Homo-oligomer: A and B are copies of this chain.
């Protein structure tokens, strides 16, 4: 028996899988401020046209350019591990596998789309990328990609994170990225906020506003904005994860897994692992596909499917998605990457269709499971990833109780070495679990009443 399954470079998938081609009900379009569908041209000041084409594509398979593959080869294919030691500790008949995305130089799955986005921007003649970052994973990944392709990268980092996590800024700097605290003096949006609230800790919404303002304000047209989750082309770029896992499982002598698990904030690591299996499910395979979110930020499990902005500042188009409302402020749990009010439209639509079975989970159980994982398998996972570990542990225990030899696959989306403060808090014994009170949920989702409504239909019977 092997402990891990490696692939050589020639085994890397050559195409991205686009779930939009296979959804029983087609994706509903993003809407502009007037409530009408927006056109690709409306987005052209923000994104390069080649990525906009991917964003709206309904082709099932999209070729990965050879030069993007060469960028990915720096760390891909990533290993698939069999979690033998965790299985023993849980005394479960289940076979647990995890796809290890923590081996990328930035420590997470984010570079899969960062290098692709940077490459397409460069092809389009773009010289500078702007973005925002909260916890810092995405800003690091885009800086890494910018270094490899010789693009300037400017990252607006939420001020409170900027101050609390100086090492993230240094990572970006090591890759040549410029990281500034947001709000900053460098944009009108930033200056306005600072004038009104000089001591603000900042927010992701403000940082997005600054990054977009800088991108669209470049008079030479050489700057674009880049987003690390939510959008269709981001989900697309991540599907390399699940396709590799399929090949590796077959080398391990497994058929389709019984359970596929990923944590879900904006949706990208979950989609990356899960969508190729959703494809199998649409074609008849029986697989439980589980996005896991914090109980304190229960987008897929408790929020409505509605049209909403992707950001607090309401700068983005209206997207059809599960959303807690763009003014929702999640409690300060430690998985910063899962504290997002919305969810990728593709993931949302898959949930509407019943193709995936969302689940929410408490953070103390996540840390408890992550520590069990660290002390058996050896890897210290990111706070976000601990949600996938927690659900995998639950499923393995369920398999033991049912006496079933299930195959469980989860995505180890990132290591936790840059985010150990959450572990400290857990060790202190003071970490609390949060459940969103129903009245809070009602309050935040009431802003959605004024927006157009997407249609909602479960067409299949999965």
Which A positions have Cβ atoms within 8 angstroms of B?
2-4, 6, 8-9, 70, 73-75, 81, 85, 103, 105, 107, 144, 147-148, 166-167, 170-171, 173-176, 371, 374-380, 416-418, 420-421, 423-424, 427
Q: Do B4 and A73 touch (CB < 8 A)?
A: yes
Q: Do A378 and B427 touch (CB < 8 A)?
A: no
**Contact A375:B417 (CB < 8 A) given known A8-B2, A103-B103, A423-B174:** no
Distance between Cα atoms of A81 and B170 in the complex (Å): 25
Nearest CB in chain B to that of A150: its residue = B375
Q: Do A379 and B105 touch (CB < 8 A)?
A: yes
Q: Do B6 and A423 touch (CB < 8 A)?
A: no
Q: Do A147 and B378 touch (CB < 8 A)?
A: yes
> Which listed residue (B3, B73, B107, B380) contacts A174, Cβ 8 A?
B380
Nearest CB in chain B to that of A82: its residue = B73
**Contact A73:B3 (CB < 8 A) given known A147-B375, A173-B427, A378-B148:** yes
Q: Do B176 and A375 touch (CB < 8 A)?
A: yes
Q: Can you offer 10 A-B residue contacts whose CB atoms are under 8 A? A: A2-B73, A3-B70, A4-B73, A6-B8, A105-B379, A105-B380, A147-B376, A173-B423, A174-B380, A175-B380
Q: Do A417 and B418 touch (CB < 8 A)?
A: yes
Query: Given A6-B8, A170-B421, 4 more contacts at CB 8 Å?
Result: A75-B378, A170-B424, A171-B417, A173-B427
Q: Do A423 and B2 touch (CB < 8 A)?
A: no
Nearest CB in chain B to that of A5: its residue = B8
Q: Do B173 and A85 touch (CB < 8 A)?
A: no
Nearest CB in chain B to that of A7: its residue = B6
Distance between Cα atoms of A2 and B76 in the complex (Å): 12
Q: Which residues of B contact A376 (CB under 8 A)?
A: 147-148
Distance between Cα atoms of A19 and B376 in the complex (Å): 33
Distance between Cα atoms of A247 and B452 in the complex (Å): 62
Q: Do B3 and A175 touch (CB < 8 A)?
A: no
A215 CB → nearest B CB, Å: 23
> Which listed residue (B103, B167, B171, B378) contacts A144, Cβ 8 A?
B378
Distance between Cα atoms of A132 and B380 in the complex (Å): 22
Nearest CB in chain B to that of A380: its residue = B174
Distance between Cα atoms of A209 and B83 in the complex (Å): 39
Distance between Cα atoms of A173 and B427 in the complex (Å): 9
